[in-house]
Structure 1
Amino acid sequence: MRRLIELSHRITEGMVTYPGVPTPRLGVHLSREDSREVYAPGTEFHIGSIELVANTGTYLDTPHHRYPDGPDLAGVPLEAIADLPGLVVRAEGLPSVGPERFAGLDVRGRAVLVHTGWDRHFGTEEYFHGHPYLEPDAARWLAEQGAALVGIDSLNIDDTPPRGERPAHTVLLGAGIPIVEHMTGLAALPDEGFRFHAAPPMVAGMGTFPVRAYAVVGG
């Protein structure tokens, strides 16, 4: 049976994705009531508006996020972020994820999704403190082995001390490997045998943006 599995957090008014990042503001450009003055009798529409920072909810990092000359949202090819063969690496309960978790796995050309279970804290203060992350050696291994994309269900793929170097971002994005952060629902996925999708709008000049990440299992 073919199934679609949701892997994104819902974006809502005032939600906090990362400490210090402004929260989304939802508004109305044209209300249904006002639209009645624009359209024929019996015809009405709602046109909403949203103001948000690109790093909101579940989002994609492109190389341009880290490197000024790297491909941006409009420059990353669709085949790099959609319809990828997926692989889940289980790392629940670990403070960090080292290269040993990937031993023996064929990651070349695959979306490698790191399941830490930290998404259970999303929307709480606990989500921001002591989160699991990808160790630098693991990021280097994934880049060397040709992973197509790397995702994680945690606050950040890197450890997040103030003014940190962010080595996983540096290595993966430097190798042209997109990153998806703040994922959810990875527990529902099989370890492999699914296709992964995380395509944002083609916004020129921006390096990150929310995505509707999902997996197609079976069929």
Structure 2
Amino acid sequence: MSVFTMSLVDLSHPFDPERMSIPPGLPQFISCPIATVPKDGFSMHTVSFGSHTGTHIDAPSHFIADGKTIDQIPLTALVGSAVVLDFTYKGPKEVITWADITKSPHADKIEPGIIVLFHTGWSKHWAADEQIYWDHPYLSPDVAEQLIARGISVIGIDCASPDKSLLEPPWNFPFHLAFLGRGGFIVENLTTLGELGPKVMVNLLPINLVGCDGAPVRGIAWK
């Protein structure tokens, strides 16, 4: 069966300047018309945003000086089978450990090359409550080490970060450093993971921004 005849699920938040969760101090999304159909015969906009705005992917160069940039990520790493792990029972600022993952009913589906998606349910707070969105559950560094050891190079999560979201210094990103530092890739701010089964096919390809440390993703899953 062709993928185009299957049911598609959009895993990305819209780029909507009126409804986005962007950390304080980071660039806001701006979309400005520079031509209109009534005046110019065509429509065109300039757009401006940070490389880690909305649903996006972190390349290793986000934290690793000589790490891969967005254009160096293999396309094959970002399209394929994914396992969805449910941690919606975790509360604000609760940690998800490797021991938690081993207790998941679908932990046995974690195998080399698969994409691991962490469903926290936190996407429901996107653009709704600017404080609680940053109080999401997070992953402990041992999760990064265990996943890399099992041949996992891509993870996604439906909240702002796999680390605690710290809105002021001192900054601390142990999961990012452990996972990106070992060549992994992280997709953040996913949504609608609750509509997926435990194992699906996904496409998490970003805009090909040469030399950049992050880029927006229009993620999709199909069943």
TM-score (norm 1): 0.88
- Per-residue CA deviation, residues 98-138 of structure 1 (Å, 9 max, x unaligned), is 10233243232011000001111111223344211111111
Q: Distance in 2 between matches of 1:71 and 1:156?
A: 19
Q: Is this contact kept in 1: 2:203–2:220, CA < 8 A?
A: yes
1:212 corresponds, among 205, 213, 218, to: 218
Q: Distance in 2 between matches of 1:188 and 1:167?
A: 30
Q: Distance in 1 between matches of 2:72 and 2:32?
A: 30
Task: Give 1:52 deviation, angstroms.
Answer: 0.8
Q: Distance in 2 between matches of 1:174 and 1:52?
A: 25
- 1:169 partner letter: H
Task: Give 1:68 deviation, angstroms.
Answer: 2.1
Q: Match of 1:150, SS?
A: strand
Instruction: State the identity as a percent.
Output: 29
- 1:66 partner letter: F
Equivalent position of 2:46 in the other structure: 49
1:111 is aligned to 2:115: yes
Q: Please, which runs of 5 or more residues in structure 2 have no aligned partner?
A: none
Closer, same or farther: CA 127–54 of 1 in aligned 2, 3 Å: farther
Q: Match of 1:203, SS?
A: coil
Q: Distance in 2 between matches of 1:214 and 1:127?
A: 26
Task: Give 1:160 deviation, angstroms.
Answer: 2.9
Q: Distance in 1 between matches of 2:170 and 2:185?
A: 22
Q: Give the number of equivalent residue pairs.
A: 207
Equivalent position of 2:196 in the other structure: 189
Q: Distance in 2 between matches of 1:101 and 1:77?
A: 30
Return the structure number with greater helix share. 2
Q: Match of 2:131, SS?
A: helix
Runs of 4+ in 1 over 3 A off after TM superposition: 126-129
Q: Please, which runs of 5 or more residues in structure 1 have no aligned partner?
A: 37-44
1:6 is aligned to 2:10: yes
2:187 corresponds, among 180, 183, 186, to: 180
Q: Distance in 2 between matches of 1:107 and 1:175?
A: 17
Q: Is this contact kept in 2: 1:97–1:132, CA < 8 A?
A: yes
Q: Match of 2:151, SS?
A: coil
Q: Distance in 1 between matches of 2:213 and 2:198?
A: 29
Closer, same or farther: CA 80–19 of 1 in aligned 2, 3 Å: same
Task: Give 1:20 deviation, angstroms.
Answer: 2.3
Q: Is this contact kept in 2: 1:58–1:183, CA < 8 A?
A: yes
What is the alpha-carbon root mean square deviation over aligned residues? 1.6
Q: Match of 1:74, SS?
A: helix
- 1:92 partner letter: T
Equivalent position of 2:204 in the other structure: 198
Q: Is this contact kept in 1: 2:134–2:165, CA < 8 A?
A: no
